[in-house]
Amino acid sequence: MFIHRELLLLILGLTLDGRVHTAEIIGGHDAVPHSKPYMALIKMLNENGKTSHCCGFLLNQDFVMTAAHCQAKFYSVLLGLHNYHKRDGVQQIDVKQIYPHKDFPHDNKNDIMLLELSSKANFTENVKPIALADKDVSPKSCVVSGWGRTERKNEKSLSLTLKEVNVTLNYNKTYALDNMYCSKGAAGPGYGDSGGPLVCEDGKAYGVVSFYRGQNLTYFTKIPDYTSWIEKAMKHD
């Protein structure tokens, strides 16, 4: 199958203690077109001149949230996208300022970043923000979505359409990490959907896709633990 060359992802092979940053939907299915109007595809130009992609999600007209390990020289955000080859109504907005957490990557934690858009997003039926969870109520049943690879060992199995997959959060102390949610199972994000949202039962974003660590474990930065930081970053404090 022909894959548009702009979708060739740079695999984010940052490994710490066997951890690999993630970016793909494994074992999922096509999302209903535009059913997740907060989703953003982030096109990145790196220092070496190569392009790569992360996912993110719209918070308001000015900010998109993603993972702090999605570092690049230049960013452009696509909003209102479902099929990469169908751009009608899609808004493409450059990023004027990034706000990665100042303590990333200490112990691979604090993997959260805000992107300030160079112009305001225009809210439409296909472009809408998502609310952030401000309290950790121990959600269990959640959904992750993205445009990344659909097979862990096939670098060409990229999706041109937005995929989604259900994940169940695991609170076993064996897998617990500070400021992180964890899901366990073969289905879920893997190498390629970094920065996408973990959306749970109440429709709010609880986490940011961060890394995969073998044993089918996926970790998500826990948004409720960063409420104060998010508010300050948006005010440029």
Report pLDDT digits (tens) over 197-232: 999 999 999 999 998 887 889 999 999 999 999 999
* Secondary structure letter of residue 61 according to DSSP: S
15 bridge partner residues: 20
For residue 183, what are the β-bridge partners?
169, 218
Query: Tokens 């077109």 — which residue?
Result: 33
The pair of structure tokens assigned to 168 is 């169940």
Average pLDDT over residues 22-41: 81
Reported CATH class of domain 141-224: mainly beta
Q: Is 21 helix (H, G, I), strand (E, B) or coil?
A: strand
pLDDT mean across residues, the chain: 85
Domain ranges in the chain are 141-224
pTM, rounded to two decimals:
0.87
Q: Annotated catalytic residue: which of 52, 101, 111, 183?
A: 111
Candidates 69, 145, 159, 183; catalytic one = 69
Q: Does 69 qualify as catalytic in the annotation?
A: yes
Q: What is the mean pLDDT of residues 144-157?
A: 68
Residue 93 CB contacts under 8 Å (≥ 6 apart), including other chains = 76, 77, 79, 117, 118, 119, 121
**Annotated catalytic residue within 52, 159, 183, 194:** 194
